[in-house]
Structure 1
Amino acid sequence: MAKEKMVFIGGAGNMAGAVIGGLVASGYPADKIVATGRNEQKLADFAAHTGVQVATDNAAAVAEAEVLVLSVKPQVMKELCESLAQIVSDRKPLVITLAAGIPLSAYQRWLGAGVPIVRAMPNTPALVGTGVTGLYAGDGVSAAQKKIAEQMAEAVGIALWVDEESGIDQVIAVSGSGPAYYFQFMESMIDAAEKAGMQRADAERLTLQTALGAAKLAVASDVDVAQLKRNVMSPNGTTERAIRRFQSGGLPELVEQAMRDCAERAAEMARELDQ
């Protein structure tokens, strides 16, 4: 694993904190990581928990960065980038952004031309080490720098590179927003079980364990999910009747349309944030 000096702006936040924790757990030297923020007590607690360095002065931290990870809300990203533009333009560290929706063209305007930038789109399961991160590299990102971004993503799950920036919108539709799809389905199962007479706590326990078991089985299996589904179904049995209800109700088409809507909204947000 590379050992470049990494600076996380907004590093004590949930997502950046998860990535930092994953890096340290996977063997990245804690003294090579700096997390910045505004809340000194939160930073002190984070440093005590992870062993990394912390700072409140973004500019001073960035002046030593070889890898700069931006993890702030999209609404404040422009202001942050413009405040650091001179330092970043002079030093040209690898910039990795974890913010959703902001296209590379915006970062290039805000930070200056020639800065190597990678867009990273992690999802919330990264908080428990089972995330998916979509990655897109802009012009000027070297193979070695791509490896650094990939290692960072793999510290909290798996990574997938896309060849076109629009591919990030598809990643959002599948894995970025995907956890909410499963949460919606689990919520519906819990509600249905409760309406049928089961105690809600029991319904939740069974539903969550079933979801966990199904996902682990799918990951471990050497057959596709369609076959796994068929393996649970016996002819004219209980599972088959339930699956037929889903299919006749248009579930496959509804999922396809929902994911299309998600990707379209991601593209719309990119245009809005690129103003």
Structure 2
Amino acid sequence: MPPDQLATDSGAVVTVDFIRHRNVLLVRADLTPLFTDYYLHLADQHLRYPSTQAAIFKEALVAGVLHAAARPLNEHLAWSLNFQAPRLNVFLAMDNEDCTITGRLFTENVKVAERNTFYSDNVPRRGAETRRSVINFIGNDPLLAATDYYAQSEQCPVRYFHLGNDDYALLVSHPDYDAPWFNAVAAAGVSALAQAEILTRIEQRLYRWQCGCTQSKILGAIAPAFRADPVGIFGEAESIRVECPRCAAGHRLTREAMEAYLAGG
């Protein structure tokens, strides 16, 4: 992305470097702008979560955006993490065409299972077939869950690091990587990689919090159910509130708007 665009657009700048002689990819970002936009979204939608749930989603957001930056452009990615303790689902959608990320928590009607489950959907390019991977993981740390996903599904060792404040990093191993160094390096060493190692900049991307949901899209999603059972959708009411399944934004839909949408379609 051109530097002038990075300077004017809002979002978090994520850098991707190759660590020469280690055969390891370094993905790093100060995610303050992304967190700020997410918190503004919560405030706009009057969404509040207990501290434990909020912390889990924040860590999932870290894991997701660094993972997306390590992936090729044009990919569309979605993660769904089912936690049993606390019982909740985390959903993330990452768009590498526009470099956006969105997501939400589901705290009601969460599937009860013996183990936590991580679902990863990958669409290599728009219109391509979805590739799904499913793994089980232990605990309630999304960064460790993502690490397990890489190990089990991608057969690729990775390590996530919190470098202080909102600065995070991801190391991704490549073939013939320096395994002893990779396994031993600590957060302080990752922070100082620019001084200690030879880094080759591959690219930098700007990731923004954005869902893209609109009333028209929500109407389109509800339309088949309305055609089948109008009374079941609206009952006697003239309007209903519907949550976006991707970001939990609330949309007020009226019966009149739905009928107009169907008539126009």
TM range (shorter): under 0.3
Comparing both structures, which one devotes a greater share of its residues to helix?
A: 1
Give the TM-score, by structure 1 length.
Answer: 0.26
Comparing both structures, which one devotes a greater share of its residues to strand?
A: 2
Give the TM-score, by structure 2 length.
Answer: 0.27
Bigger relative CO (Cα 8 Å, ≥ 6 apart) = 2
